[in-house]
A and B are shown apart, each in its own frame.
Chain A
Amino acid sequence: MLEIRGLTKRYGRVTALDGATLAARPGRLLGFLGPNGAGKTTTMRCVFGLATPDAGEVLWDGAPIDAAARLRFGYMPEQRGLYPRMRVADQLVYFGRHHGLRATDAKTRAAALLDRFGLADRARSKLEDLSHGNQQRVQLAAALVHDPALLVLDEPFSGLDPLGVATMTEVLRERAAAGVTVVFSSHQLDLVEEVCEDVAIISAGRIVASGGIDDLKASSGRRHLDVEIAGAGASWPGSDGGLTVLERDGDSVRLLVDERADLGAMLASAQARGEVRQFSYGPPRLSELFMDAVGDGSSAPDAAR
């Protein structure tokens, strides 16, 4: 279990983290969300000792993280994180050995991972000779080679094709199922909604929402109503009910409604306009929760990385 408590980090006059607090549980995928410059990378760096927080602490299984604990962590930084001119298998062995594996174990693990990712025949190629997608697979393999108990990935899905996204998702889920604590940052909210159980949303250095995605949705006061009325066009619901129209597309409309809204009356009102083809009521999407939580915080300074 990874706990981050009251983490504060300033770079000169820029406050990158301002008392960020969150927890990631083993066996679950935590999506770490936030606008650019909100403090995601800084938080990850604090976990790996690459940045020393001005205040607050990072705990692993209840204890402050030391060098020995860090050997059991796997980190995949945002860009590359590998030697372009080094052979693929050699890199994996090298990183494995840095994490305390013996040479023979590192070799075995590296070969197994390359096999798993279908890269066994490229083991002796230089990294820069591989396609972009394959380079990212190697990057993931490098973070996995020592079988870490905590896996932290910075934007693992950025730039992946659908196939790559599928592989990445599968591997992350598999690791989580094996009891690993997995944290990754992403801007692809729909993907996070699909892949993760938990999310933490950071804005301007503060965690503004965190917990299970379903819990967050349930506890959100807002509900959405999607209604499609054949031929009604823009005429429904009119302006009488004080309802907020979020999106309108032809005959479809998405409304923001209150938890206590009278759905029966609304359905009757809709049916009075024409044939109701869709009438669905539910919690907000993750992207809507995100926008709510972050508000206008996206103007956070970009230098805070």
Chain B
Amino acid sequence: MWLVARREIIERGRTRGYLVSLLFTLALLVMAFVLPSLTRGDDTRRLAIVGAPPANLRSEIDAAVIRNKAKFVISEVPDRATAEAQLKAKTIDAALEVPADKSTSGTLTFQEAPDATIKEVCYEAVVIVRAGPDVLQPPETHIITPPSADESSALILATAGIILMFIGIFTYGQWVLTGVVEEKQSRVVEVLLSTIRPRDLLVGKVLGIATLAMGQLAALVIVGIGISQLSGQVTLPATTIGAVAQLVLWFVLGFLFYATAMGALGSLASRPDEANNAAMPVTMTATLCYVATIVFVIQSPGGVLAQVMTFIPFSAPMVVPLRVALSAAQPWEVIGAIVVMLLAIWLLFEAGARVYAGAVLSSGSRMRIRDAWRARR
């Protein structure tokens, strides 16, 4: 079994296809993160000064804007209520209120996420204006509706993870599929099966390719986290490590499950071009689960559908990491789902190997799964 797995790793890892797909997905990931930050477009910041500020605040802000090479549109509003109304209407990005007597550094108010440039500009200006003993005190930052930073970036991560999972399972599942048919067609399988059991051949192949897929996933995760940290677009929530670990775990489980199913069904085909037809039931089911996950489970990760799908092996690899990332799964649900999944994988190894053994040595046209199941070698 390990011999088979080793061959898959070495032979396929060496192919140009693997390296290209690795680089391609990495490039996609980089683009996905970098492009939005490049095309954010309008970088003019709108700041309102509230009430009666110290006399030179406006000019110091202008100076600080120039020093920071930023573009500001500065307005004045009579009172805090007006400022908050404008913040809510998003006609301004932030409101700065500094008492005329300069007794404090005042407050800087944002509607949602604070903006680093506005904070910096206001800080510099207020420090110069006050020039007092506690000058280094920045304006107190106040946020009206603090966005749950954790939630939004968790959602991004989880969604990206599910998409990666789906693509990964199918890219590498395809390798298992074509690998099985190739061995069947070239009769290599006859030589191999005279020395090892069909189950070992099938499982070894799946494990070998799973290792390669893991390599690619690991590269993606590391680069992805690195980029998101650098671009500052996604603030990694505290639960990230757990969520990523779950994602990786479920990728492995999902891959073992789906790839084994595809390998077993692929053995029914007699030519590579038939293989995709043979694997159709699996790909259809997976696509259905994927769509259901993206459309429904994301809406209500704690809902009944989500709970049910947690315990169905076909959908669990996509549903569970999503729910974990959104903190919508109970620990017992996760553990239960893992147990169900492991059981399903083990069953599939046995059942898949039986179909595989019945079908892979047949020649002639495509077999039906029932015949393969019944075929005693």
Contact = CB atoms under 8 A, between A and B. Distances in A.
14 contacts: A45-B190, A50-B190, A52-B377, A70-B194, A81-B187, A82-B186, A83-B188, A90-B10, A94-B7, A95-B191, A98-B192, A98-B195, A98-B196, A305-B364
Given A50-B377, A51-B361, A52-B377, A81 B11 contact: no
* 7 residue pairs, one from A and one from B, having the closest CB atoms: A48-B194, A77-B187, A98-B195, A80-B186, A77-B190, A81-B187, A52-B377
Nearest to B185: A80
A67 B10 CA distance: 27
Given A70-B195, A98-B192, A98-B196, A45 B186 contact: no
A49 interface: yes
Contacts of B183: 83
B361 A81 contact: no
Contact of B190 (A70, A75, A84): A75
Contacts of B377: 49-52
B186 A50 contact: no
Contacts of A82: 186, 188
B363 A81 contact: no
Given A48-B190, A48-B193, A50-B361, 16 more contacts: A45-B361, A52-B376, A67-B195, A70-B194, A71-B195, A77-B191, A78-B187, A81-B186, A81-B187, A81-B190, A81-B191, A82-B186, A83-B183, A84-B182, A90-B11, A97-B3
A98 B3 contact: yes
A79 interface: yes
A206 interface: no
A303 interface: yes
Contacts, number: 69
A86 interface: yes
A184 interface: no
Given A45-B361, A50-B377, A86-B11, A81 B194 contact: no
Interface of A: 45, 48-52, 67, 70-71, 73, 75-86, 90, 94-95, 97-100, 142-143, 303, 305
Q: Which of B182, B192, B193 has the most CB of A within 10 A?
A: B193
Contacts of A79: 186-187
Nearest to B196: A98
The range of chain B's interface size is 20 to 34
A295 B187 CA distance: 32
A48 B192 CA distance: 10
Contacts of B361: 45, 50-51
A301 to B, nearest CB: 12
Interface string B351-377: 000000000010110000000000011
Interface in B1-60: 3, 7, 10-11
B195 A99 contact: yes
Contacts of A76: 191
A165 to B, nearest CB: 22
Nearest to B377: A52
A146 to B, nearest CB: 9
Contacts of B190: 45, 48, 50, 75, 77, 81
A50 B188 contact: no
Nearest to B201: A98
Contacts of A80: 186-188
Contacts of A78: 187
B192 to A, nearest CB: 6
Contacts of B7: 94
B364 A303 contact: yes
Contacts of B192: 98
B186 A49 contact: no
B118 to A, nearest CB: 59
B188 A81 contact: yes
B28 to A, nearest CB: 27
Nearest to A97: B3
A170 B364 CA distance: 34
A45 B195 CA distance: 12
Nearest to A127: B186
Interface string B191-234: 11111100000000000000000000000000000000000000
Nearest to A51: B377
Contacts of A85: 11
Interface in B153-199: 182-183, 186-188, 190-196
Contacts of A97: 3
A51 B363 CA distance: 13
Contact of A50 (B10, B182, B193): B193
Contacts of B363: 305
A76 B188 CA distance: 10
Interface in B242-280: none
A103 B312 CA distance: 43
A292 to B, nearest CB: 30
A86 to B, nearest CB: 6
Interface in B128-146: none
A90 B376 CA distance: 33
A283 B195 CA distance: 43
